[in-house]
């Protein structure tokens, strides 16, 4: 093996009078490197999206929501919480929720919103509501405190649309309306609420749409009591299907829905997209592998005389074949190693690079309204990096087989006679 590796390395350097092969070798290494970099960065971003979406959704939504089967509302929601907590020890916290579609207005600015009526203290145990009002986790717009009666917490993008801040007085119109024979359906009596806090959930879907009030204010806004459901936090969110089954079996009047069911289609689409992206981008490495094949074929053609001399000196066919396989592996390993290092570094600094390019080009490369987040989520998973690198090396190895086999087929007599 020492002999094959020495000759392979010598061949890759090329002759001084013929630097073309040397240039092609560098291009081949660069091709593998670019392919690995692209795969690592894209897979890290896709994985980061998956993890960040799960964490954000699990943090801002309940792990499980319990709804009534027959009635529209839970009147005695305290009893429902006691029932499900007694049946399911996995429940860590539970709180009521009432959803209200509303129109918010401040001055000349108005926008639609989904107001969630809740018990603020219980809701903070079920979701990240109280955390979203602080600067924890790099939040830059969060401020204020949980809502009391006749107060409201706005998502920060929602607040920006109507130019509201903590302490502002806003008008809320809800679907509780009156019917007049001549004029038709009119909006109900406006309710003035004070903004007690600005929430930053770090996911644009929540920050754009949601607002929070306490149950007393929710009852006033929609003109009736009761709650739409009970939100539940579990010790392990991935146990939600088991708890759901237990609740649906034990209680005829309730049924449960998990956090994953609300977003199932989205997560399945994300997983399929990640697989499709890997397959598509793997073609970059495949093209680089074809480039390695062409490089080795050129080397075999250039080294026919050398092959003939080596064969006459006693080098065996498998040794010649191994020599060219080692050449290809040197190219593949060099490109894969460089690509892995650069890909990981690039992935960890993707937000800084995107910000620099955005300023340079004058465009918003990562629009948070489109992509849900105010930054590019990245998760460099060692297992993914290993399989990407391993796949690149395997493709490189496969690409060396035909040129190596061609080298073995070179007839020493013909090679030396032609020279």
What's the rounded mean pLDDT across residues 32-39? Answer: 87
Provide the pairing of β-strand 109-118 with 210-214.
Answer: parallel
Residue 230, class by beta-carbon neighbours within 10 Å (0-12 exposed, 13-18 middle, 19+ buried)?
buried
Residue 97 has pLDDT above 70, yes or no: yes
Percent of the chain with pLDDT over 70: 85
Q: What is the mean pLDDT of the chain?
A: 81
Q: What is the pLDDT of residues 160-202, one digit of tens each?
A: 999 999 999 999 988 764 444 344 444 567 889 999 999 988 7
Residue-by-residue DSSP string for 147-186: --TTEEEEEHHHHHHTT--TT-EEEEEES--EEETTTEEE
Q: Are 32 and 335 in contact (CB under 8 A)?
A: yes
Query: Which pLDDT belongs to residue 364?
Result: 66
Query: Which pLDDT belongs to residue 178?
Result: 42
Q: What is the pLDDT of residues 139-148, one digit of tens each?
A: 888 899 999 9
Q: Are 276 and 5 in contact (CB under 8 A)?
A: no
Please state, in angstroms and rounded to a whole number, the distance separating the CA atoms of residues 96 and 117: 8
Q: By three-state DSSP, how is residue 62 classified?
A: coil
Query: Which pLDDT belongs to residue 184?
Result: 41
Query: Which pLDDT belongs to residue 413?
Result: 59
Which of the two residues, 373 and 344, has the higher pLDDT score?
A: 344
Q: What is the pLDDT of residues 254-300, one digit of tens each?
A: 888 887 776 666 677 777 777 787 787 777 777 777 777 877 777 77
Query: Which pLDDT belongs to residue 177?
Result: 41
Closest to 212 in 3D by CA, of 125, 130, 141: 130
Q: What is the pLDDT of residues 105-141, one digit of tens each?
A: 998 899 999 999 999 999 889 888 898 998 887 788 8
Residue 219 has pLDDT above 80, yes or no: yes
Residue 218 has pLDDT above 70, yes or no: yes
What's the rounded mean pLDDT across residues 9-21? Answer: 60
Residue 341 has pLDDT above 90, yes or no: yes
Query: Which pLDDT belongs to residue 148?
Result: 92
70 contact partners, CB below 8 Å, separation of at least 6? 253
What's the rounded mean pLDDT across residues 25-40? Answer: 84
Residue-by-residue DSSP string for 327-350: HHHHHHHHHHHHHHHHHHHHHHTH
Residue 304 has pLDDT above 90, yes or no: no
Query: Which pLDDT belongs to residue 372?
Result: 57
Query: Which pLDDT belongs to residue 14?
Result: 57
Closest to 217 in 3D by CA, of 168, 161, 146: 146
Q: What is the pLDDT of residues 371-405, one digit of tens each?
A: 556 677 888 889 989 988 888 888 888 888 888 78
What separation in angstroms does the CA of 347 have from each of 39, 162, 288? Answer: 10, 37, 21
Query: Which pLDDT belongs to residue 224?
Result: 79
């Amino acid at each position: 093996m020492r002999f094959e590796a020495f000759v392979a390395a010598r061949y890759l350097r090329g002759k001084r009078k013929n630097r073309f092969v040397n240039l092609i070798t560098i291009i081949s290494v660069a091709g593998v490197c670019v392919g690995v970099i692209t795969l690592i960065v894209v897979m890290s971003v896709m994985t980061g999206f998956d993890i960040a979406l799960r964490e954000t959704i699990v943090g801002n939504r309940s792990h499980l929501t319990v709804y009534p089967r027959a009635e529209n509302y839970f009147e005695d929601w305290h009893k429902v919480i006691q029932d499900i907590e007694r049946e399911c020890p996995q429940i860590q916290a539970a709180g009521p929720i009432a959803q209200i579609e509303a129109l918010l207005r401040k001055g000349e600015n108005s926008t639609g919103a989904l107001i969630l009526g809740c018990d603020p203290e219980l809701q903070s145990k079920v979701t990240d509501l109280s955390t979203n009002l602080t600067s924890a986790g790099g939040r830059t717009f969060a401020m204020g405190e949980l809502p009391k009666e006749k107060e409201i917490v706005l998502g920060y993008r929602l607040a920006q649309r109507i130019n509201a801040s903590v302490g502002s007085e806003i008008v809320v119109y809800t679907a509780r309306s009156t019917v007049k024979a001549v004029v038709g359906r009119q909006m109900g009596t406006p309710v003035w609420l004070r903004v007690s806090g600005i929430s930053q959930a770090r996911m644009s879907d929540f920050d754009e749409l949601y607002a929070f009030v306490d149950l007393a204010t929710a009852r006033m806004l929609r003109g009736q009591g009761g709650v739409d459901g009970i939100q539940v936090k579990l010790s392990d969110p991935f146990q939600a299907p088991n708890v759901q089954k237990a609740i649906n079996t034990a209680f005829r009047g309730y049924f449960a829905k998990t956090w994953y069911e609300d977003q199932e289609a989205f997560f399945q689409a994300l997983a399929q997209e990640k697989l499709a992206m890997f397959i598509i981008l793997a073609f970059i490495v495949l093209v680089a592998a074809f480039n390695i094949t062409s490089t080795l074929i050129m080397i075999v053609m250039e080294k026919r005389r050398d092959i003939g001399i080596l064969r006459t000196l006693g080098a065996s066919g498998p040794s010649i074949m191994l020599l060219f396989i080692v050449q290809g592996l040197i190219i593949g390993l060099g490109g894969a190693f460089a690509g892995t290092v650069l890909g990981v570094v690039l992935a960890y600094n993707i937000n800084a690079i995107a910000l620099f390019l955005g300023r340079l080009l004058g465009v918003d490369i990562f629009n948070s309204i489109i992509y849900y987040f105010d930054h590019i989520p990245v998760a460099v998973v060692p297992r993914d990096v290993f399989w990407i690198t391993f796949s690149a090396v395997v493709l490189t190895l496969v690409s060396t087989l035909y040129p190596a086999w061609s080298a073995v087929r070179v007839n020493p007599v013909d090679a030396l006679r032609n020279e």
